[in-house]
Amino acid sequence: MNLSALFTAYNQAKWYAKRTGEFDVGNVDRALGLLMAHRLDEKRGEYAFGFRHCDCPDAQIRKRTCKHSIALMVQKRHDEIVEEIRRGE
């Protein structure tokens, strides 16, 4: 995990959450916490999750994009940023 890329991805997700209201801003923070603690993979033992679906209570009961799905998005953006740096963009 490249921390600089991770924080850039996190800030972009937070900006998007604030601007669109599509995600709970607190869940973006919780997603960062999962990624920083390297705990996303261990959550796969508890819940089945993807970019748009999760079977955790937050997604199922509160009907919102949960921290697990947001963490996947932030991780994907992190990987894209790392690749952009590698290519010198």
Tracing tokens 């960062």 back to the chain, one arrives at 32
Tracing tokens 């998007």 back to the chain, one arrives at 16
Q: Which of 28, 34, 35, 54 binds Zn ion (CB under 5 A)?
A: 54
For residue 78, count other CB atoms closer than 10 A to its CB.
21
Q: Which of 14, 68, 77, 78 binds Zn ion (CB under 5 A)?
A: 68
Least spacing, CB of residue 26 vs Zn ion, in Å: 14
Least spacing, CB of residue 62 vs Zn ion, in Å: 10
Binding region for Zn ion (CB under 5 A) out of 4-12, 28-36, 66-74, 77-85: 66-74
Q: Which of 29, 56, 75, 82 binds Zn ion (CB under 5 A)?
A: 56
For residue 12, count other CB atoms closer than 10 A to its CB.
15
Residues 6 or more apart whose CB falls under 8 angstroms from that of 71 comprise 31, 32, 34, 35, 40
Residues that bind Zn ion (CB under 5 A): 54, 56, 59, 66, 68
